[in-house]
A and B are shown apart, each in its own frame.
Chain A
Amino acid sequence: MSTILDIESAWERQMTIEEKGVWIYGILAVVVPIVYFVSIGGQIAGRSASEIDYASQLLTAIGAAIVLAIVANIIIAILSPKEAGMKDERDRRISHLGERVGFYVLGVLVLAPLALALLRYDQFWIANSIYLASVLAAVASAAVRVVAYRRGF
């Protein structure tokens, strides 16, 4: 009996492959934008927004996050082949919860770039506020899903 309990407590520390994917999504949604905004932030000082060449860096940040997420998920699937593709009803319900939260956060935050556009701010601010809104929605979505996996749902 104690052997069974020991095995079970070890299992409790493990995550499903879906939860690992959520952690990767969340970490990338924090780390990549921080690198991008630090890089862009360093160029803002002493310049007007229209002079900053942000487009290539913004596209690189978006592309890098997508590629890194795909690579990380492939590595996870290789490391735990038995669980690869395994997604049950709890995973799906938590995923839906995360999507819903992300949608609401994005729905509210998208008002910022809308306001900036209406006030005729430079495209730099509009593009970056859209990116920031999507990043914060992704972080909120990941955070809610991690809490749902850990605390209960």
Chain B
Amino acid sequence: MVKPTAVTNDIRALRTQTNEMTQAELAALIGVTRQTVIAIEQGRYSPTLEMAFRIAHALGRPLEQVFHYPVEDAR
């Protein structure tokens, strides 16, 4: 499968570190469906900047600890 976005994230790992937060719990916190959380975790959906900030806030981390972008590769 071709990944539609170069943005990667550590949401799955960070959820586990955040009191074993489930996808449904994170989805409820940020106001999206759990399928959208799954799509973001799998790199099938690149969230808006606002949504990215909300996810980072829900996980109690700064944005750059949650999402990564390979700047060198993108040039």
B33: contacting residue among A4, A12, A83, CB under 8 A: A83
Using C-beta atoms within 8 Å of the partner chain, give the interface range for chain B: 20 to 34
Q: What 0/1 pattern do residues 41 to 69 of B give for CB contact below 8 A with A?
A: 01111011001000000000000000000
A76 to chain B, nearest CB (A): 14
Alpha-carbon distance A116/B43, docked complex (angstroms): 46
Q: Which residue of A lies closest to B36 (CB)?
A: A90
1/0 per residue A1-30: CB within 8 Å of B?
A: 100100110011011100100000000000
Q: Quick one: which of B1-31 are within 8 Å of A by CB?
A: 1-5, 16, 20, 22-24, 31
Nearest CB in chain B to that of A153: its residue = B45
A51 in contact (CB, < 8 A): no
Q: A8-B38, A12-B38, A89-B48 are in contact. Are A152 and B3 (CB under 8 A)?
A: yes
Given contacts A151-B1, A152-B3, contact A90 B22 (CB under 8 A): no
Q: Please, how many angstroms separate the alpha-carbon atoms of A19 and B39 in the complex?
A: 13
Given contacts A11-B38, A88-B33, A89-B48, contact A152 B5 (CB under 8 A): yes
Interface positions, chain A 68-86, Cβ under 8 Å from B, are 83, 86
Would you call the interface of chain B mostly helix, strand, loop, or mixed? Answer: loop
**A-side interface residues, number (CB < 8 Å):** 19
Is A91 close to B, CB under 8 A?
A: yes
Partner of B45, one of A1, A19, A83, A90: A90
Q: How far is the CA of A90 from the CA of B24 in the complex (A)?
A: 16
Residues on A facing B (Cβ under 8 Å)? 1, 4, 7-8, 11-12, 14-16, 19, 83, 86, 88-91, 151-153
Task: Across the A-B interface, give the 9 residue pairs with the lowest CB-CB distance, nearest first.
Answer: A152-B44, A88-B32, A152-B4, A90-B36, A16-B33, A16-B35, A88-B36, A90-B45, A88-B33
